[in-house]
Amino acid sequence: MKYFTLLILAASLATPVAAQVSSHVPDTDTLERLRGDELRKAYAGKTIYGVYKSPTSRSNTTSFTEKMTEDGKTSYREGDFRSDGVWNIENDQMCFRYDEQNRAVSHCFYEFRSGSCLYSFTYVTPDGNKPINPANWGSKSVAKGDYSTCEDYYG
């Protein structure tokens, strides 16, 4: 029985923290939708440290880092995976196109801020002011140098 208990303990410790799925749901009353120049201020010239809600298929990790220049270039890192690309603001959304996809696919997200925590969502309410389902954030991040107010942030 003692060895069985140790085996269970060892198996539970073998799962890396970064591979966990977050169950955090942000309080929609604290989420402020970022648009236009607010998006530019939040991202341009910054290094963003973030986590995805669940591990990606590419690296089986939830953590990422993205350096975003003022002129719209980006350098993305997720585990051992790296990609350069470009970012821009389209229809008040943050949009990214990466080299590994020949910059042909645009990935766009609605961005919300709660304190220093930035949340990315795919879908928002018809008025655009709140996420349709606050539990369905895709990633949350904080800019380098900012004190993180993200709850359940383990990246």
**How many domains is the chain partitioned into structurally?**
1
Does 6 map to a domain? no
For 2, the 3-state DSSP assignment is helix
Taking Cα atoms as reference points, which of 56, 136, 43, 143 lies closest to residue 93? 43
pLDDT tens figures, 101-138: 889 999 999 999 999 999 999 999 999 999 999 999 99
154: phi > 0 → left, psi -120 to 50 → alpha, else beta; which?
A: alpha
Domain extent at residue 78: 26-143
* Position with higher pLDDT, 109 vs 21: 109
| Contact in structure between 76 and 98 (CB atoms under 8 Å) | yes
Give domain status of residue 148, yes or no: no
Output the pTM of the full model.
Answer: 0.81
Q: Whole-angstrom Cα distance, residue 151 to residue 51?
A: 12
- The mean-pLDDT minimum among 53-67, 87-101, 113-127, 140-154 falls in 140-154
Model pLDDT, residue 1: 43
DSSP annotation of 149 reads -
* Residue 8 falls inside a structural domain: no
Of 21-30, 37-46, 56-65, which gets the smallest average pLDDT? Answer: 21-30
Instruction: Find the CATH number of the domain harbouring 136.
Output: 2.40.128.640
Which residue type, as a one-letter code, is found at position 73? Answer: K
What was the pLDDT predicted at 22? 66
